[in-house]
Amino acid sequence: MSPGKVFRFGPTPEHRANHLFVFLHGSGATAQSMIPIAFRFQGRFPSAALIVPNGFDPYGTDSDAQQWYSTRGLNDENRLARVAAILPRIEDLVRREQTNYGVPRERTVLIGYSQGGTVALETVKALRGLAGAVVAYCARFARLPQPGARFDARIHLVHGAWDSVVSRVHAERAARVLAALHVPVTLDIISDLGHALSHEAVCRGSLRLLQGIYEGRRATLH
């Protein structure tokens, strides 16, 4: 499958698009790997339009697997620069779909797993006003937000307790830093889970998203 291919699924027939969910897969995977996750989110949000893009960069010699940015020689010194290099393409993708479906940024959600979660987190860190929430699974910031950083998005972190690829420590540190910046953030550590998306993890992420939307609405009622 070609890099950059996008799968689109509209809301259920009786609904107009009220939310836009953009799903970002992990390194070495494909957009198809996130489609079942996308449909499970739509089960809780039937008015959501689902956007499931393929990564921008081929992964190794596998003709189907993709990644968002190269992992060759990846380290803590160059990770942020590699993510930053693709953010204009992420922004173009999200804004195009917002226009297509007539959904504003506050009802746009980035949902990412592993490398896709890192892209989602860095997107809302760098591009304020693009999305209203992030659900990041088994992910980390390329670089933790600095003091004084401002976010326009709620952040929901879901991580496996036994993740040996991206340590839960990254999620725990991110949650502390975001809370200190007064960013609405939740952290769920799923017991007996490694670096994977389980039924429980997906349900927890969609539940936190639903709770965050409800809390946001309640805050506007006087």
Catalytic residue among 19, 163, 170, 206: 163
Strand order through the sheet with 108-113: 6-9, 48-53, 19-24, 108-113, 133-137, 154-160, 185-190
195 is catalytic: yes
Structure tokens at 80: 């942020």
Catalytic residue among 33, 152, 167, 195: 195
Tell me the residue type at 8.
R
Calpha distance 4→68 (Å, rounded): 9
What values do phi and psi take at 73, rounded to 5? 70, 20
> Is the dihedral angle over the CA atoms 83, 133, 210, 13 positive or is it negative?
negative
Report the relative pairing of strands 6-9 and 57-58 from DSSP bridges: unpaired
- The four Cα atoms 85, 120, 1, 35 give a dihedral, to 10 degrees, of -170
163 is catalytic: yes
170 is catalytic: no
Calpha distance 80→98 (Å, rounded): 26
**Which secondary-structure segment (H or E) carries 99?**
helix 79-101
Catalytic residue among 114, 156, 159, 170: 114
Calpha distance 27→7 (Å, rounded): 18
Active site residues: 114, 163, 195
